[in-house]
């Protein structure tokens, strides 16, 4: 089993390297100290399994998975269980809470071996992660930035700078400060990751940053639109208008 270790703390990498050394079938083919290194190493080495820290500089663990893709399997390693919900959403193989024991690491490796041997098999790691998810639901944190591939580059857009988001077939258009980027993601998935106190789905095809709304104007019989500070005009559905009214009370 070809493995890459990703963690910004040298001591954490050393501990994991030592524990993995006890397993004869594990071949560590790379170690990375940040997310950008990890994306590059995963593309070059095509490992079977990545032990991936979540909180790291430059790119976090979830952003690494988004950019590197799901061809490999991931075990998230973190000191915080509030990320379990998102880990399950991205189909992580397992979720290790620091400090973990050798026995718990062995369970994660056994889970990985079983999945590699029979990809469709449901195993104990998924049950363990579901248990963590139930505890993490109340602490689920909205994302703070959006990553978008722009050719060979990666655009990092702070969520606070997004004006609105528009659904376009299988993509969403992220509109920020007069520019627009296309991202291959479902509207409902992106909506679930945003802060509901700051972003509102005002129409089937539009999510608006409430802080960018200058005013609401009527448009014909029972119709309304949001006029943003940038001058953009966003249609508001009947249900969306009711949501806006409820928030403004």
Q: Is the dihedral of CA 30, 143, 73, 20 positive or negative?
A: positive
Which residues, at least 6 apart from 131, have a Cβ–Cβ distance to it below 8 Å? none
Domain 145-248 homologous superfamily, CATH: LytTr DNA-binding domain (2.40.50.1020)
Helix count (H) and strand count (E) of the chain?
8, 15
pLDDT of residue 199: 94
Residue 199 · residue 211 · CB < 8 Å: no
CA distance 127 to 129: 5
Digitized pLDDT (tens) for each residue of the chain, 249 residues in all: 999 999 999 999 999 999 999 999 999 999 999 999 999 999 999 999 999 998 887 788 888 888 887 788 999 888 776 665 566 666 678 888 888 899 999 999 998 898 888 765 444 444 444 444 444 444 456 778 888 877 667 788 899 999 999 999 888 999 999 999 998 888 988 888 888 889 999 999 999 999 999 999 998 888 899 999 999 999 999 899 988 888 766
CA distance 47 to 109: 14
pLDDT of residue 130: 47
φ, ψ dihedrals at 243, nearest 5°: -60, -45
Class of domain 2-139: alpha beta
pLDDT of residue 132: 43
Provide the residue ranges of all domains of the chain, joining segments of one domain with +: 2-139, 145-248
pLDDT of residue 122: 44
CA distance 35 to 29: 16
What is the distance between the terminal CA atoms of the chain, rounded to a whole angstrom? 57
């Amino acid at each position: 089993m070809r493995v890459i270790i990703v963690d910004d703390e040298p001591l954490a990498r050393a501990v994991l390297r030592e524990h993995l050394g006890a397993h004869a079938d594990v071949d560590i083919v790379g170690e990375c100290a940040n997310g950008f290194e990890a994306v590059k190493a995963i593309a070059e080495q095509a490992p079977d399994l990545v032990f991936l820290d979540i909180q790291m500089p430059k790119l976090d663990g979830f952003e690494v998975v988004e950019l590197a893709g799901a061809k490999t399997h991931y075990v998230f390693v973190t000191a915080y269980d509030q990320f379990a919900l998102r880990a399950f959403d991205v189909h992580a193989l397992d979720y290790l809470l620091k400090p973990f024991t050798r026995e718990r690491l062995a369970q994660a490796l056994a889970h990985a071996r079983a999945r590699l041997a029979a990809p469709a098999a449901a195993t104990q790691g998924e049950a363990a992660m579901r248990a963590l998810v139930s505890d993490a639901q109340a602490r689920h944190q909205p994302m703070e930035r959006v990553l978008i591939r722009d050719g060979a580059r990666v655009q990092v857009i702070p969520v606070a700078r997004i004006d609105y988001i528009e659904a376009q077939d299988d993509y969403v258009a992220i509109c920020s400060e007069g520019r627009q980027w296309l991202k291959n993601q479902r509207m409902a998935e992106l909506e679930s990751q945003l802060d509901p106190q700051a972003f509102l789905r005002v129409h089937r095809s539009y999510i608006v940053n409430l802080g960018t709304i200058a005013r609401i104007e009527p448009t014909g019989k029972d119709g309304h639109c949001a006029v943003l500070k940038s001058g953009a005009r966003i249609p508001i559905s009947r249900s969306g208008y009711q949501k806006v009214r409820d928030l403004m009370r």
